[in-house]
Amino acid sequence: MVPKCPEIALSRHDEYGDFDIPYVHIRTYIFKKLNRYKNRIFPLICVENPVCFLVCYVCKNNPKIIVFIIYKFCLFILLQKINSVDKMNQKEMDMRTAVVDLFCGVGGLTCGLRKAGLKVVAGLDNDETCQYAYEKNNHAKFIHADVAKYASADINSLYKNSDIKILVGCAPCQTFSTQANKYRKNINKETDVRWNLLKAFANHIKAISPDIVSMENVPTLQNYDIFNEFKSTLEALGYHVSHQIVNCAKYGLPQRRRRLVLLASKFGDIKLLPPTSEYFKEKRTVRSTIGKLPKLKHGQTNKKDPLHRCAGLSDINLKRIQQSKPGGTWHDWDPVLLPNCYRKASGQSFTGVYGRMLWDEPSPTITTQFFSFGTGRYGHPTQDRALSLREGALLQTFPENYTFFQNEENMSIATISRHIGNAVPVDLGWIIGVSIKEHLDTVKKGKKAA
């Protein structure tokens, strides 16, 4: 059957009877192809008539131009074909790849993995107050459950028909944090429930056998046997494992958060992409992240954004922040403002609190207490107050429209701050996500080449 467009071409050929016959054949071939891609290059077909006339006119006495145009057409179609196959593969891969996020919280990690193009099907957390934010912002199912008690088979069923199963998790960090380290002798490893959550994670891996695993936690986790046990379990199961300490600021995040990230794959070597990768060129600071937000007084809430709300300051803390310099310490204060403990020689080194941030640097680690001037260097660079909840969320790289509660204005600052500070920064999740995707691409290319 002769396709439609060549019919037009043939009639035109009759009209311009002195055209070469091969030209008509080649056009027939091209238009057959064009028909297949007509949706994508419809606009080209629309302009075909006048263009064709023009080409015919110009080419009348110069067959070389005809060959050149045909060559360009064929090249265009070939590129379209290659592109569409690539897009199809990408789509297929994304569709068949599913992630389950253990200890999902309000979805920082999930949000970052989604930003990288991975499909997250569900998250599990035993804190029901995370459900709204998790589901509202991520379109993934929130399962209110204790990870240690939830059946591996039920987690496995969440993957449905996906071919590539990815299991990620960031167990509560407090157990392994520097603070807890001070009291490590007091931790009863057998009975501390949180201590055993990493074991529960490993047990799920044993039972589900996901293709890829990612685990994130505080760097000090490396000091504990439980981390080595986790790693050895994965290696014994045949995973290729890598882990490293990541300084988020080196990847361009507006925060100097250091985290331990472990990646494991059944397909082959897997590693977090280096900070020098093309992906991470943008370098953000406190100014570039929160510099344009409306001004606030301590204890105030912005009328348009209920999350741009900050804690009130006591009279003495207001005087203290007024005397604080960006990047300075309480050594800048009038001595009468010093708390008793800092007057003693033993208190002189506690300079990590009551500080103001610097505009043109990344912020310090956003913890669950970032709303409080006295608990870290959370003083605004120029305004006399600590960070607002919105500012904390932005420094944690949550998107501007991320909502944490349906009625944010009625929730306590401490509750929202806990959720924000507990989260894996969205862009750390994205770094993990793009690293996983690059790994899967390499595996796919390797398979094709073999």
Positions that interact with ligand SAM (CB under 6 A): 103-109, 124-127, 130, 146-148, 170, 172-173, 197, 422-424
Rounded Cα gap, residues 331 and 55, in angstroms: 79
Please report how close the Cβ of residue 231 comes to ligand SAM at its closest, in angstroms: 19
Please report how close the Cβ of residue 291 comes to ligand SAM at its closest, in angstroms: 25
What order of strands is seen across the sheet that includes strand 164-169?
141-144, 119-125, 97-102, 164-169, 212-217, 258-265, 240-247
Rounded Cα gap, residues 125 and 314, in angstroms: 36
158-180: b or e for each residue (b if 16 or more CB lie within 10 Å)? bbeebebbbbbbbbbbebbbeeb
Nearest one of 398, 436, 382, 423 to 137, comparing CA atoms: 398
Please report how close the Cβ of residue 130 comes to ligand SAM at its closest, in angstroms: 6
Closest to ligand SAM by CB, 23 or 405: 405
Contact at 8 Å (CB) between 179 and 198?
no
Active-site option among 59, 173, 248, 310: 173
Closest to ligand SAM by CB, 148 or 237: 148
Closest to ligand SAM by CB, 173 or 221: 173
Closest to ligand SAM by CB, 210 or 379: 210
Please report how close the Cβ of residue 146 comes to ligand SAM at its closest, in angstroms: 4
How many of the other CB atoms lie within 10 Å of CB of 148?
16
CA distances from 438 to 30, 150, 267 (A): 36, 31, 12
Closest to ligand SAM by CB, 87 or 189: 189
Please report how close the Cβ of residue 400 comes to ligand SAM at its closest, in angstroms: 17
Active site residue 248: no
Rounded Cα gap, residues 300 and 319, in angstroms: 17
DSSP annotation string for 35-101: HHTTTTTHHHHHTHHHHHHHHHHHHTT-HHHHHHHHHHHHHHHHHHHHHHHHHHHHHHHHHHEEEEE
The SS3 assignment for 277 reads coil
Please report how close the Cβ of residue 390 comes to ligand SAM at its closest, in angstroms: 17
Closest to ligand SAM by CB, 214 or 372: 214
Closest to ligand SAM by CB, 104 or 261: 104
Cα-trace Rg, the chain: 29
Please report how close the Cβ of residue 117 comes to ligand SAM at its closest, in angstroms: 18
Tokens 């192809």 belong to residue:
33
* 226 DSSP 8-state letter: H
Please report how close the Cβ of residue 190 comes to ligand SAM at its closest, in angstroms: 16
Closest to ligand SAM by CB, 116 or 130: 130
Rounded Cα gap, residues 37 and 122, in angstroms: 37
Rounded Cα gap, residues 430 and 150, in angstroms: 27
Q: What angle do CA 427, 433, 438 make, to 5 degrees?
A: 130
Identify any residues that bridge with 242 across adjacent strands, giving them in sequence order.
Answer: 263
Tokens 């701050």 belong to residue:
417
47-81: b or e for each residue (b if 16 or more CB lie within 10 Å)? ebeeeeeeebeebeeeeeebeebbeebeebbeebe
Contact at 8 Å (CB) between 201 and 147?
yes
The beta-strand segments (E) located in 145-289 are: 164-169, 212-217, 240-247, 258-265
Closest to ligand SAM by CB, 173 or 213: 173
Please report how close the Cβ of residue 311 comes to ligand SAM at its closest, in angstroms: 22
Catalytic positions are 173
